[in-house]
Structure 1
Amino acid sequence: MSNKEKIFDESISLFSEFGYDRVSIRQIAKKVGIKESSIYNHYKSKESILDEILDYYIFEMTKEEIPLSKAEKNLDVSFDYFYKTGLELYTSKLSEPRMMKITRIILIESYHNEKIKEFVKTSIIKYAVEGWIELFELMKEKELIRKDCNTAQLAQSFYYYGLFLLIEHFIINYPEDDEEFLKTLGLKSENHMKLLFDSVKIKDNANIRLECEKDYFEVENLVRNSFWNIYRPGAYEHLIVHNLRKDKSFIKELAYVIEKDGRIIGHINYSKGLLDYENEAIILGPVCIDKNYQNKGYGSKLIGFTLKLIEKQNMPYVFVVGDENYYRRFGFESASKYNIFLEGTDTTEENPFFMIKVFQHDKINFKKAIFSNPDLFNVDERDVDEFDKKFEFKEKKFWTHN
């Protein structure tokens, strides 16, 4: 460790224990084991040491900050997932001894040090509250909380409680066990946030239930509309859903719909494919949400609900073919990590779109294996065109290549 790093660390320790005003340059030099004049080779003054400490604190607290775009995806999974992800990141950072000491310095000195008082008002409180306001506004857009709620008041009510818990630990109850405090901080903050969220959340009347025979046409039409002209001219996923119900690979007890205001807005299927060393293995899909209800968390509810059922049924793992950025939030990872590949793909390279969620790791033997979809996933275009006659006409979009 360089002398500058030693000066930085010892200053943090001394400021935290005795207060900024009560510590002199001479004391810092003595603690580091250098001459007092040597400190000026690295810092112009005691205040410049403080400036660097404050800059370091903000940098560390924000360098892994979840951007709004990522926060939006986390909200799509569930509010609990979104909040716990942020809370774990915060408590993990705060648990570092250096950060604990700096937090104590900031809270103590904010009462009489004008520089730190301004730092707390601007860099800590104002910045954080504005961030929470932005997130609560996003929650309004996603129809998670009521449109008439005051997002500024919500943000302040949440953030000020967390600030109080820090003051209680670092000042009122000091010294107190840091590890125990962090556990309490997480639990109390989570309970407080749930209390606030419950007071403003929109009571969703969406209902997840098993698909039944009377749903078949409505579901097929929903699947057709959801996939139409997305991956190819027209769609064939609705024919797969139709054929799957009559096939031995179909898992009827995992075919669910999500219903809202009396109509089906989402659907999910699971079926059994073939894996070299296990014979049968489950794959998720097709899954879809009505275009008018996408990006509101309904897909995540449906996927999350059915994955819990799979785990309870003692199934070792489940596969999916899809967007790795989307499915990663549910615990899916590249199947090639486990030496498993999708039939027809290159087995020498990673296939990020072919993913697995493992519930029982002891069931994976890491031998190279090939997974094959049910045969009915391979559809004939003529069969699709014939099946489409049952539905309202939709124009296919053809792409031209220059």
Structure 2
Amino acid sequence: MQIRQEVFDDRAGIYAVTHAAFSKDDHLVEPMEVGLVQQLFECDGYSPTFSLVATNDKTVIAHVIATWGTIDGKHKLLGLGPLVVAPEFQSKGAGTALMQAIADRAESEHVAGIVLLGDTGYYKRFGYEPAMARGIFPSEPAWGDNFMVRVFNERALPTGRYRYAAPYGC
């Protein structure tokens, strides 16, 4: 398995993996996450620096993206998601490798932190903690502790209400 920055030619593979990871019973219905990823690639918050793929013999098997959102409309902060792994590669380390790689990339780029909305039990192992305890509030209060942050630079971490990149609609 290789982890690297996504390039345009990976997009079809990314969409296919996203479709496979989020399809429910009907594989003919395109999951909304596929459209979300397409929109994230085209939004102002997109940076190829924070779009990583895991490949196996040149085939995309997993993808993670973090896009720039804002706190109180003034301070930029990365928002992670979605993280997708092809079903046949789940629980084999691809997701963990991508989470570590994007954290390493953010830290090397001097990003103060990354927020995400996800399962507290799963993401805690990657250093994420409830964001509200750090003074970062979700646009949807019902998210509660599932809105999390991984801090890289505590002194530079802004506080206030977070808004994801425009395609998220919140």
TM-score, scaled relative to structure 1: 0.39
Report the number of matched residues: 167
Deviations 1:273-313 (A, max 9, x none): 11117522101111111100101111000110110111011
**Equivalent pairs: percent with the same residue?**
23
Provide the rounded CA distance (Å) in 2 between the counterparts of 1:365 and 1:287.
Answer: 24
Partner of 1:222: 17
What secondary structure sits across from 1:245 in the alignment? helix
What secondary structure sits across from 1:300 in the alignment? helix
Partner of 2:147: 354
Contact 2:62 2:85 in 1 (8 A): yes
What secondary structure sits across from 1:352 in the alignment? helix
Could you say which structure has the greater relative contact order, defined with CA pairs below 8 angstroms and 6 or more residues apart?
2
Q: Which amino acid aligns with 2:23?
A: W
Query: What root-mean-square deviation, in Å, do the aligned CA atoms of Structure 1 and Structure 2 show?
Result: 2.1
Q: 1:249 aligns with which of 36, 41, 45?
A: 45
Q: Which moved more, 1:327-336 or 1:236-245?
A: 236-245
Provide the rounded CA distance (Å) in 2 between the counterparts of 1:260 and 1:254.
Answer: 20
> Residue 356 and residue 246 in structure 1: after superposition, are their counterparts in 2 closer, same or farther (change >3 A)?
same
Q: 1:378: Cα distance to partner? A: 3.2
Partner of 1:329: 125
Provide the rounded CA distance (Å) in 1 between the counterparts of 2:148 and 2:163.
Answer: 13
What secondary structure sits across from 1:310 in the alignment? helix
Q: Which amino acid aligns with 2:144?
A: N
Unaligned 5+ segments in structure 2 are none
Q: 1:352: Cα distance to partner? A: 1.4
**Which protein is richer in helix relative to its size?**
1
What secondary structure sits across from 2:46 in the alignment? coil
Q: 1:370 aligns with which of 157, 161, 170?
A: 161
Q: Which has the larger radius of gyration?
A: 1
Provide the rounded CA distance (Å) in 1 between the counterparts of 2:42 and 2:119.
Answer: 28
What secondary structure sits across from 2:141 in the alignment? coil
Q: Which amino acid aligns with 2:154?
A: H
Provide the rounded CA distance (Å) in 2 between the counterparts of 1:207 and 1:261.
Answer: 8
Partner of 2:104: 308
Q: Which runs of 4+ in 1 moved over 6 A?
A: none
TM-score, scaled relative to structure 2: 0.90
Unaligned 5+ segments in structure 1 are 1-205, 380-402
